[in-house]
Structure 1
């Protein structure tokens, strides 16, 4: 019986009626037998229900020989996995090798020996059943991995929103700042995904999506800044600004602790972890590492004059270099409690002045190419007027 509950079906193909009768009678006590007396008929039967689980195929037939039939069977998705055993009077080694090279699983010569034929048929049906079971298991595992990754993505998105909202509530900046900077990042990455310097990191849509999703956490370290400094309505003193700058280190350290926690949990149960759990943890680590890079390094500058680590050039992680431009653009073009909004022209000129100093030159060039999209985003997510108390 077939694993799915129906009887196993064997298709016998031979242009001689007597051979069909002999082989059919041999197989019928054990299997459901279908017959075809030509290559064309065999192809039609193979694609109709009940589909054969195995085909016994004669080689020497008029119009279309067995080799041609096998090639067509292997070319069609619905029949390419059906095992085929050649049953033929041809017994030269070259004939057998040719048949096996085309994809036949076995070669039985006529006149058939009943015991040998039954054993070969049984063995290849058992092998096919094992392959089918493995394929189903792999499909189920793949579906489970996708289901759990979808759940993981949902949890991450919720956590991102909660953490970003927490940082926003403690800051003078609005939630629209988070939306704008995220949109700027998406535009920059889309433009740079085929650039020779950046394609390795940006050509994968999943990588760009990961970077965009963690963008709202770039200032998560501000939760560690005292309210008296964070919410001060005027300009900060030199001492206060020095404290404010520590938000980058605070954010990086907090995310670094999360990464170490995931790594420690993985090392404890590594031998018992399932493939799906391993995939989820790898995804989580890359997600957290990107968050750490952006939170800790988005105030670094291309020339090494930024903070907290005075990184320079390509030593600054790419997500942070992108974030540096997006964050500065938004700070310039938006009204703040300590400054009026710059015009688009002033903002573009200021960023051009920072090319090769504050910003990666190629990222500035990308910004110039997509500046109209930046302007549209700034208008779309403009901050609401402050509410009077």
Structure 2
């Protein structure tokens, strides 16, 4: 009974006597397939299971060995199968031609059985080594991909945990994190072809930006409850304390960065967003009164996302605005609070932002 674990050889030769002699020589050690012309040889080579090694005659009618070699190399299913050329042409030029086409060895006729067996064994061992290395590389790549996925997931979960920690201090924000993250992704996607933002809003930047967005208000953990959850208007001293949450957030991220050897890009963006998302285009924001393009792009985007969501959400100090009222108020702040081009992108795709708000709307409060 044929052993399926034995290597499979394909012999392609138009001479029946050569097929017979080689088959008799090799069958005790290998599973042997035969084809008496190039066209049939290509069909067998592309069939499953593919042969482990091909012994290919050069001088054949129809497709000669060189043409078969070219066809084998052109087909992804057979390109990696090693080929030993068999020929009565013993000139170095012919041998060089065959090797240049991808042959791994060259055996001249008349063939010596011991040489054929030795060279077949050598090439099969070489193929086994290549296959093993390929499998090892594939396994290593799969393991690296798995670990990167786990690290990525762990990173995202950690970010959300930190952000939710801040959110628990301000319970009425509900699904604010999911909404603002969605707004940021949409804004960046809309603006990525804009001449002012194209150099910055690369696919990688957008990915990091979206990941960093939930950390924008982590500094609120440092604000006293009586200020954070005050139902009425804050006094001037209270408002000054509330404003410190921006720097508290960026300082916390910077402290975390000191514990790692290599800076992480998403933490750099998270710091920018946390520290400057309350700055205003006209320079009247906080904490540093930056104006215009001096405000980092990530913070300018978050300014739109954060203010819009605050307007349409219930807060201890106000009811939720309607979408129409929020839209009008946002339009009024174009060029004042907001970068005009980012405001235009927001207003021009307002329905899409409303859709995100509705998708992640807060659960109704029950008594």
Same fold (TM over 0.5): yes
1:274 matched residue in structure 2:
none
- Give the Å deviation of 1:77: 2.6
Q: How does 1:125-140 map to 2 (within 5 A)?
A: 125-140=124-139
Q: Residue 246 of structure 1 aligns with which residue?
A: 244
> Where does structure 1 lack aligned partners over 5 or more consecutive residues?
267-281
Q: How does 1:102-113 map to 2 (within 5 A)?
A: 102-113=101-112
Contact 2:90 2:108 in 1 (8 A): yes
Q: Is the 8 A contact 1:259 1:289 kept in 2?
A: no
Q: Provide the residue aligned with 2:213 in structure 1.
A: 215
Distance 1:251 1:384 in 2: 27
Q: Give the secondary-structure state (helix, strand or coil) at the position aligned to 2:9.
A: strand
1:262 alignment partner, SS class = coil
Q: Is the 8 A contact 2:173 2:315 kept in 1?
A: no
How many residues are paired up? Answer: 365
Aligned counterparts of 1:70 and 1:33: Cα–Cα separation in 2: 19
User: Which residue pairs with 1:182 in the alignment?
Assistant: 181
What is the CA distance between 1:133 and its match in structure 2? 1.2
Deviations 1:158-198 (A, max 9, x none): 33443333212211542132232222223223323444544
Indicate the residue corresponding to 1:278 in structure 2: none
CA distance in 2, matches of 1:140, 1:123: 26
1:387–1:49 Cα change, 3 Å: closer
Give the 3-state SS of the residue equivalent to 1:261 in structure 2: coil
Measured against aligned partners, the alpha-carbon deviations of 1:46-98 in whole angstroms (never above 9, x if no partner) come to: 23354311111112211222222223222333222111122222344554444
Measure, in 1, the Cα distance between the counterparts of 2:64 and 2:176: 71
Distance 1:221 1:383 in 2: 22
Q: Is the 8 A contact 1:335 1:341 kept in 2?
A: yes
Q: Does 1:374 align with 2:353?
A: yes
Quick one: distance in 2 between partners of 1:303 and 1:67? Answer: 74
Query: Which residue in the other structure is 2:43 paired with?
Result: 44
The answer to whether the 8 Å contact 1:172/1:230 transfers is no
Question: What does the per-residue CA deviation read over 1:217-255, in whole Å, with 9 as the maximum and x for residues that have no partner?
Answer: 210110011222212222222222222122122111222
Q: Distance in 2 between matches of 1:150 and 1:352?
A: 41
Contact 1:36 1:42 (C-alpha < 8 Å) held by counterparts = yes
Measured against aligned partners, the alpha-carbon deviations of 1:98-157 in whole angstroms (never above 9, x if no partner) come to: 433433233333333445444443333233222211211121112212322333344334
Alignment CA distance shift 1:211-1:23 (3 Å): same
CA contact (8 A) 1:258 1:288 kept: no
Query: Contact 1:217–1:291 at 8 Å: present in 2 too?
Result: yes
Q: Does 1:296 align with 2:295?
A: no
SS at match of 1:229: helix
Q: Structure 2: any 5+ residue segments left out of the alignment?
A: none
Q: What is the distance in 2 between the residues matched to 1:353 and 1:177?
A: 23
Range with greater deviation from structure 2 (131-140 or 108-117): 108-117
2:258 aligned counterpart, secondary structure: helix
Give 1:248-267 correspondences, 5 Å limit: 248-263=246-261
Query: Secondary structure of 2:259's match?
Result: helix
**1:364 CA displacement:** 1.9
Aligned to 2:230: 232
* TM-score where L is the length of structure 1: 0.81
- Confirm whether residue 318 of structure 1 aligns to residue 297 of structure 2: yes
Residue pair 2:162, 2:215 contacting (<8 A) in 1 also: yes
**C-alpha distance 165-70 of structure 1, shift in aligned 2 (>3 A):** same
Alignment partners' CA distance in 1, 2:104 and 2:282? 65
